[in-house]
């Protein structure tokens, strides 16, 4: 089980990413347009640098929604492999059954 502070940190990062996503996209688009016209986009990039570090989506890390485990994450289900196995064995995930051959 992950520490509650680690889970809270990821939630905080997700909120920051969502908060700044639209503004960052606009500035990036503006920078590309300036580059096409052959002008300098230095000022635009300076504005992008002023955003918080955690506003970048690359800093987010996938975690299990139940335990907060960072490794063995199954993106399709949003949980770790361990929780997936337990839930699948208990029949809690529809359409998933244990393979046997």
What pTM was estimated for this model as a whole? 0.74
Flag whether pLDDT at 13 surpasses 90: yes
Report residue 100's pLDDT band, with 50, 70 and 90 as the boundaries.
confident
Tell me: pLDDT of 3 over 90. Answer: no
For residue 25, what are the CA distances in angstroms to 2, 13, 20, 55? 32, 17, 9, 12
Q: What is the pLDDT of residues 20-49, one digit of tens each?
A: 999 999 999 999 999 888 888 899 999 999
* Position 87 pLDDT exceeds 80: yes
Please choose, from the candidates 2, 54, 1, the residue with its C-alpha nearest in 3D space to the C-alpha of residue 24.
Answer: 54
d(CA 93, CA 70): 21
Element at 73 (helix H, strand E): strand 73-74
Q: What is the mean pLDDT of residues 39-63?
A: 92
Q: Is the pLDDT of residue 2 over 80?
A: no
Side-chain-side CA neighbours of 14 within 13 Å: the count stands at 9
Residue 1 has pLDDT above 80, yes or no: no
């Amino acid at each position: 089980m992950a520490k509650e502070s680690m889970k809270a940190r990821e939630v905080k990062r997700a909120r920051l990413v969502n908060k700044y996503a639209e503004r960052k996209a606009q500035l990036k688009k503006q920078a590309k347009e300036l580059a096409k016209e052959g002008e300098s986009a230095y000022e635009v990039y300076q504005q992008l640098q002023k955003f918080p570090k955690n506003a970048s989506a690359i800093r987010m890390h996938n975690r299990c929604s139940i335990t907060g485990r960072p490794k063995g994450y199954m993106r399709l289900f949003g949980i770790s492999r361990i929780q997936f196995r337990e839930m699948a064995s208990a029949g809690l995930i529809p359409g998933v059954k244990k393979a046997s051959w």
